[in-house]
Structure 1
């Protein structure tokens, strides 16, 4: 089965690390230097947010930046990032009063079924000891709260858990998670970050760390990893295939090993991938086409815009060559692809924790962020693969995402270049690319899915669980909320989440016997 899967999903080619994009401190330094020396008209320009001004001043010094660098600063800048800042009203970004609602916020049944999925995997793998529960990007902790409450009902499983780990970079969100999961905001320092007791499992601690690399891999541990609406927020690079692209002989191409100048005059390859980059809009440009902004003004000019890089960038030289899926589009003029190397790095880390890595990659995958794990690590031989990763997110089943970068604020779509730092940014997840990276990172795992969320939740028993809750509802308003919530999760219509959202699982590779499909992916509960 694994060989068949590998034939369907060509293992991604790993490439050398490239020079990272400027981080927040470098951008701030550039901005300070620019603002102290420039007297141009742009210093008088009114920017929509302080972060927009910081980014624009830095770009004026460093030149246009990748979409990935723009997304990273908008989402995680230490002073003005969407997830790292605290809103002026004290409200967080989640829920009906925030900018968007996630599945756990819609119905408690979602988190309960995820908890049951973990329990079923634990049973199927022989009731392992030394279990770790890990969640990346836990939001305000709603999903983990429902998961742990459910797990606490299965005493044997709960007793096998030696630690719960939340990978969260925002101090503000860490406090929200602690209040919900531990009943306190009083966190104590630990070896990897912060810690507090778990209110659901006596004697078990919850630990917070900013980076999954701070969480040591253990050969005898069984990690169960959750990633719900995590990968859609990871930065992407966008490339467009330009026909008859020309590179002047005098052009200098910046590569990871230094600048290179073409020696043989003008080159005119049939098609070349060019990266889409971000730069400030001209202060003299008109408002242009009608746009939707966070303030609702249709004629408002945005702070930034995307343009096509005229010459190759370090990322355009290797990222579109990483997979045969991208290569098939090399002869399609104007084709657009979105690639997230950080996503590849994270899912590779998941796979290695579950299945081990018996050899050091000769050509490690790059990570374009200092906060992303990489597969360039020492060999991690795991005697017996164990654990699982459950990924729940939105994106196509088998195609490469294109033109999916979006912004959202107050539950409506806005331009991703509107009010930087105050608008959530996301893009569709390339599930096939995640599967390629997981299979390529570890010989001890197999991948199931993606399947539509409607199929996953229905086979997990969402209708039956909702029915029990409806019978116990105390009033009509509670019954209405439960009914609307669970149906929305599996609705395959344009306003539902059942078809747009997908589920994918990474589980240990079974060398002998028939393939065991996990529950929710066509399998039954075993063990």
Structure 2
């Protein structure tokens, strides 16, 4: 998971769905958090400073959309998971952190991503300049470091790169990325775009920015964009369709019955979307009360829970209407959907940079975006909210700011939005990560590393174990759960990219 911008406003839109097993209550069973109950909880001891801040905000505004909760937990200024720096030296990544990402598992992963972009550079005419490398949510910088090291072996492409852009909200992660990519003593300068330092690989400028919107969209640039485990960290809205019964007819002879202007619509049952909201759990609540799965009962009961809104919200009235895929489920009672407006924003940005748009004309589409994440390929995600801490599944509504939060990515929605955003792009995939990496040559590259001079048996076994983990197609295996999707310039089906059924076209 990766953060994308430093925001701390609870009211920002994007909701989230959660697990049926106790993470939310229906509107008929949800506990009422009146002002009296809130006052009773003011003396409660909270697990983190962010938990207390969330409680105080909810006590003022009432339950908040799940998206707002997620934003605060991941990128809030007070103890956010990526931006709060609660503990000195805390590292979210790696064996000593909360989770391990593919670039941390094997250097081959980043090398193959670099090769993929080299293949695209070749297929799109080998431009001598104007190339931009853009990574959103770059973690510790491991992926970009492996990519740049690989690209350096192709001097013509390395020389074509104007700048590398790192879209990163966390100051701590920026520092880690800078040390890795530029060296521990690298100097930096500031501009209206962001902070600039020189790459240790080719001395090209590396620019850090809070938001991708700070990077100018220019028609003569070839943007190569990578988003690895980025979209799964974007806040989502979560909705459930509810049958709203028609009110009983007024008694005969009553003033209401006498009104002839009562429409038949007002007398009919209707379907409405209701939104999942976050509210505090009562003091003393137990796992049994919440229905927490046994696998997540190794910590104290969470301080927050999901409830279903008792009426429509400003999000439920509009967000589920954004796609025919969502709208057609409205008439089926208890349908569940997760919608990520922020994913649409980024998909639109990627497509516009590559293919142009009426607001940003681009005479010749160029560039590519490669998205690698876990999610659904042909269905709408539901019940996918998860929490990870110290490599264990935990309740996602516990210990705000100390738990990594993520959801399944709706790849179909990303593809749909990208195609609508620009007539100059086409989308390939998603394909399973195992298929993508195997076609890119992960097996062959790993074998080369095991046979390199000075590699002992233990190191060779670790290399072998690592690449096989990335392509594992077993239940829950990374090769099956993770998928790859590519956004390319529209070419009327004449060329498919490497890893998606095609080959390099020089």
Bin for the TM-score computed over the shorter chain:
0.7 to 0.9
Match of residue 91 from structure 2:
92
Query: CA offsets, 1:265-319, max 9 Å, x none?
Result: 9675432111111111122644424636999635x33111111101111111111
- Contact conserved, 1:293 with 1:414, CA < 8 A, in 2? no
The 1:469–1:245 alpha-carbon spacing in structure 2 relative to 1, beyond 3 Å, is farther
**How far apart, CA to CA, are the structure 2 residues paired with 1:389 and 1:269?**
45
The 1:404–1:516 alpha-carbon spacing in structure 2 relative to 1, beyond 3 Å, is same
Aligned-pair CA distance for 1:63: 1.1
Match of residue 396 from structure 1:
376
Matched, 1:459 2:439: yes
Aligned-pair CA distance for 1:23: 6.2
- TM-score, length-scaled by structure 2: 0.86
Match of residue 337 from structure 1:
337
Query: CA offsets, 1:93-141, max 9 Å, x none?
Result: 0011100000000000000000000000000000122100000000010
Q: How does 1:148-163 map to 2 (within 5 A)?
A: 148-163=148-163
Specify the SS of the correspondent of 2:487. strand
Decide which of 498, 501, 510 is 2:479's aligned counterpart: 498
Aligned-pair CA distance for 1:54: 0.3
- Contact conserved, 2:196 with 2:205, CA < 8 A, in 1? yes
- Contact conserved, 2:10 with 2:69, CA < 8 A, in 1? no
Match of residue 494 from structure 2:
515
CA-atom RMSD, angstroms? 2.4
Query: CA offsets, 1:332-391, max 9 Å, x none?
Result: 211110000000001100000000002xxxxxxxxxxxxxxxxxxxx1100100000000
- Contact conserved, 2:12 with 2:67, CA < 8 A, in 1? no
- TM-score, length-scaled by structure 1: 0.83
- Contact conserved, 2:246 with 2:270, CA < 8 A, in 1? no
- Contact conserved, 2:296 with 2:394, CA < 8 A, in 1? no
**How far apart, CA to CA, are the structure 2 residues paired with 1:172 and 1:268?**
56
Match of residue 422 from structure 1:
402
Unaligned ranges ≥5, structure 1? 1-19, 25-36, 249-261, 359-378
Matched, 1:196 2:217: no
Match of residue 27 from structure 1:
none
**How far apart, CA to CA, are the structure 1 residues paired with 2:283 and 2:246?**
29
Aligned-pair CA distance for 1:263: 10
**How far apart, CA to CA, are the structure 1 residues paired with 2:223 and 2:387?**
33
**How far apart, CA to CA, are the structure 1 residues paired with 2:169 and 2:295?**
26
Aligned-pair CA distance for 1:471: 0.8
Aligned-pair CA distance for 1:91: 3.0
Match of residue 459 from structure 2:
478
- Contact conserved, 1:292 with 1:414, CA < 8 A, in 2? no
**How far apart, CA to CA, are the structure 2 residues paired with 1:270 and 1:39?**
34
Matched, 1:83 2:82: yes
Match of residue 22 from structure 1:
11
Aligned-pair CA distance for 1:330: 1.8
Specify the SS of the correspondent of 1:75. helix
The 1:268–1:286 alpha-carbon spacing in structure 2 relative to 1, beyond 3 Å, is farther
Specify the SS of the correspondent of 1:86. coil
- Contact conserved, 1:91 with 1:97, CA < 8 A, in 2? no
Match of residue 43 from structure 2:
44
Aligned-pair CA distance for 1:83: 0.6
**How far apart, CA to CA, are the structure 2 residues paired with 1:154 and 1:247?**
71
**How far apart, CA to CA, are the structure 1 residues paired with 2:501 and 2:108?**
20
- Contact conserved, 2:79 with 2:86, CA < 8 A, in 1? no
**How far apart, CA to CA, are the structure 2 residues paired with 1:442 and 1:506?**
11
Specify the SS of the correspondent of 2:96. coil
Specify the SS of the correspondent of 2:53. helix
Match of residue 440 from structure 1:
420
**How far apart, CA to CA, are the structure 2 residues paired with 1:269 and 1:525?**
57
